[in-house]
Amino acid sequence: MDSALTVDRLHFAFTATFHYLFPQLTMGLALLIVWLKTLALKTGDEHYHRAARFWTKIFAINFAVGVVTGIPMEFQFGTNWSRFSKSAGGVIGQTLAMEGVYSFFLESSFLGLFIYGEKMLGPVGHWASAVLVWLGSWMSGYLIVLTDAWMQHPTGYIRGPGGEFGLASFWDLLLNPWGLWQYMHVMMGAVATGAFVMASTGAFYLIARRHEAYGRIFITTGVAGALFASLFLLATGDGQGRNVARYQPVTLAATEGLFTTARGAPLAIMGQPDTESGRLDNPLLLPNVLSFLTYRHWSAEVKGLSEYPRELWPDNVPLLYYSFHIMVGLGTIFIVIAAVCGVWLLRGRLFDSQPLLWILMLSFPFPYIANTAGWMTAELGRQPWLIYGLMRTAAGASPAVSAGNALFTLVGFMGIYVLLGILWLLLIYRELEHGPEADTAEAHR
Amino acid sequence: MIQVIWFCLVAVTIAGYVVLDGFDLGAGAIHLLIAKTPAERKSVLASIGPVWDGNEVWLLAGGGTLYFAFPALYASSFSGFYLPLMMVLWLLILRGVSIEFRNHLDSPVWTPLWDAGFCVSSLLLAVFYGAALGNVIRGVPLNATGDFFLPLWTNFSPGPQPGILDWYTVLIGVLALAALAMHGSLWVRYKTSGELSVRAGGVARGIWWALGFLTLASTAASFSLQRHILANFQDHPWGTVFPLLAIAGFVGMRLHGELAAFLSACAYLVGMLTSAAFGVFPYVLPSVPTPDFGLTVYNAAPAVYGLQVGLAWWIPGMALATGYSVFVYRRFAGKVS
């Protein structure tokens, strides 16, 4: 903790991890709210309107926390990572500025209308503003993922005389092959969070025998969304994994805990990477599966960590390995839960199945954990590079900011975010208690 | 040349931020002063409720634009102004939460907390923004690699060892508070009715005198501290349109028409900010005591291709954004009930 670099990394990791708890829900809910509003418009059933209003209140709370914790992310590029910004701002500044210009204006303008203007806009206008909020938030996701994708797999740049990065091709930046897979994967992760939170809330109402009509709507919408998202998470995760194999092979070896090169490499389901002796302890292996997943060939050769010099290894192999395995393990569980609940739903027996309702109710923390572990996999996997293969993380921090000053603000953020988290819990709890039948004045303003 | 275009666009975006978020910051700064009853406080909040978040997006758009148009400036100034910027972030968090959570936790225990948080954070943000502008005009001790780090204060004098706060930057901070409080009062007068509107008008009339004095004092101080400003106005006399705009706006704030007075405040703010931008050009961050280390629009900009591409998406994007803002403001036109 006495090096500024360590504090700067913790600073970004902490604020980014906390921040992303909120957008993952709002991006997922934005789509589900559009779906509820569409049903309301088509059927004219007041239940769907009220369901949408209820989730809009949850959305608004999370959106507010997402906004206030998001501004520090943009600022930190300059405050704590000035060498990186000075060098790469000409490229990633494009996507960051586009996010402000194209998504935030759209999102904030129409969210104001959506929350405050239901009566004024009429049903079609209100539905349209929900669609625009959804578009704004998903475009925001794309531009941020592209920013990260450029750091993972830089495209469309040139180097200036001082080594600084300049834009060489706008379209290569905007259509980065890494970004396309990563974006779809990230957005499906957000839908999974929104869907499981919705289904979990519905299950809570059914188990508690309150607001049961709404509980059934939430479960139906949530389970359908969760099944859709978790299947696409599998497909997009596969695409993303093959990008890692192609562009960051040493990261692939680390995430899979593969120390030695092998033909027909096995997939490690469990085990503890021991970087000191270069082996996976207590491994539970599926033979040949890693080769197949990576190269679609059961006996293909997959390179292990020992092929690469240590200074190219991600600097925290065990944490990277665990993050990846937690993400994949939870993703698999999501498919099972969503599929079983989907079948029971189609057979008309889900609402009476107490065990499944309990499983759904308790499921809500896990997509948050999976999304967090997923981002940890991406960012730990990028190490020791800030811009993969081109700029080391250690070279990007602000030379003028001392460890003591950085620690001061990290501690400050920790205190503020703890308070913010407590307030958030209190507000969400109150909204759940009020339930969708409490039509407050706010929804009609 | 394209760097100059981007300098103007960044200046326009920042001016847009100050004019738009400025009135809701100003309304916050005078919130506890003018709104005496719970109903009046609700009215002040309602007058900014649907638009404040969109106004704040101008800060993000301005920051993003600054980032890609002048990355060296973004890197140097954000790391050099590290502590005050982080405090600005904390204040923005306090403010956003105070405004938004008020809708969800409305009780005799919580509401006074939200009102105090809203007022204090708005007030301090206005002072911080002014002090930041003061630092840029005064200049900072940049080194050969374009880095600096300023402590919050040293001896409160803009000499060879400056701090974030010295008498000059504090003066500009107080000027910013007075200007935004004025702007906010005129907004509240325009958007509300009854006693609240009358009281806001009274506050505006009172602040007007203080604002006039502060404007004169800080103009004199700026000309004496940053010689470059006078040279710019002497070399390019057409630049006097900017101060003239500020003067016209200042006079217009006394108008009886509620909208006309508010728009005059907008003109005053735009005139003051563009005067400052014109005065320091081509510097974007002057250096003291070694002027040669100063960052200019030319040495802080990236490769030209990126700036050209940027024009192609930035201009239509901001036109679209302005369109949304106009749409939203028209939807919420008229006085709040």
A233-282 pLDDT per residue, tens: 999 999 999 999 999 999 999 999 999 998 988 899 899 999 888 888 89
Q: How close does chain A come to B38, measured CA to CA in Å? A: 16
Find the farthest-apart pair of alpha carbons in chain A and give their distance in angstroms, rounded.
69
Q: How close does chain B come to A165, measured CA to CA in Å? A: 8
Contact B76 A420 (CB under 8 A): no
Smallest Cβ–Cβ distance between A68 and the set B67, B82, B93 belongs to B93
pLDDT at position B158 is: 85
Contact B67 A97 (CB under 8 A): yes
Q: How close does chain B come to A236, measured CA to CA in Å? A: 29
C-alpha–C-alpha distance, residues B182 and A308, integer Å = 64
pLDDT at position A439 is: 57
Contact A94 B68 (CB under 8 A): yes
B89 vs A contacts (CB less than 8 Å): 71-72, 75
Asked if residue B165 lies in contact with residue B153, where contact means CB atoms within 8 angstroms, the answer is yes
A79 vs B contacts (CB less than 8 Å): 78-79, 82, 85-86
Among residues A334, A108, A314, which one has the least CA distance to residue A225?
A334
Separation of CA A133 from chain center: 18
Reading the block at residue A442, the tokens are 């706010």
pLDDT at position A139 is: 95
pLDDT at position A444 is: 42
Q: Given pLDDT bands bounded at 50, 70 and 90, which one contains residue A115? A: confident
The fraction of chain A above a pLDDT of 70, given in percent, is 98
The fraction of chain B above a pLDDT of 70, given in percent, is 100
Q: Given pLDDT bands bounded at 50, 70 and 90, which one contains residue A432? A: very high
Q: Given pLDDT bands bounded at 50, 70 and 90, which one contains residue A441? A: very low
Contact A83 B92 (CB under 8 A): no
What is the interface pTM, i.e. ipTM, of the complex?
0.92
pLDDT at position A442 is: 45
Smallest Cβ–Cβ distance between B67 and the set A96, A108, A408 belongs to A96
Q: Given pLDDT bands bounded at 50, 70 and 90, which one contains residue A2? A: low
Helices (H), A248-346: 249-256, 289-295, 317-346
Interface list for B 16-35 with A (CB within 8 A): none
Q: How close does chain A come to B251, measured CA to CA in Å? A: 32
* Residue A422: Cβ-neighbour burial (10 angstroms; 0-12, 13-18, 19+): exposed
A68 vs B contacts (CB less than 8 Å): 92-93, 96-97
Q: How close does chain A come to B205, measured CA to CA in Å? A: 32
C-alpha–C-alpha distance, residues A22 and A4, integer Å = 28
Q: Given pLDDT bands bounded at 50, 70 and 90, which one contains residue A438? A: low
Cβ count near B244 (within 10 Å): 12
Best A5, A84, A99, A104 member to test B by mutation, with max B CBs in 10 Å, is A104
Kindly tell me if the per-residue pLDDT of A394 is higher than 60: yes
In degrees, rounded to 5, the angle at the alpha carbon of residue A69 between the alpha carbons of residues A66 and A70 is: 75
C-alpha–C-alpha distance, residues A289 and A81, integer Å = 40
Is B59 an interface residue toward A (CB < 8 Å)?
yes
Interface list for B 142-181 with A (CB within 8 A): 145-149
Kindly tell me if the per-residue pLDDT of B105 is higher than 70: yes
Helix (H) or strand (E) holding A262: strand A262-263
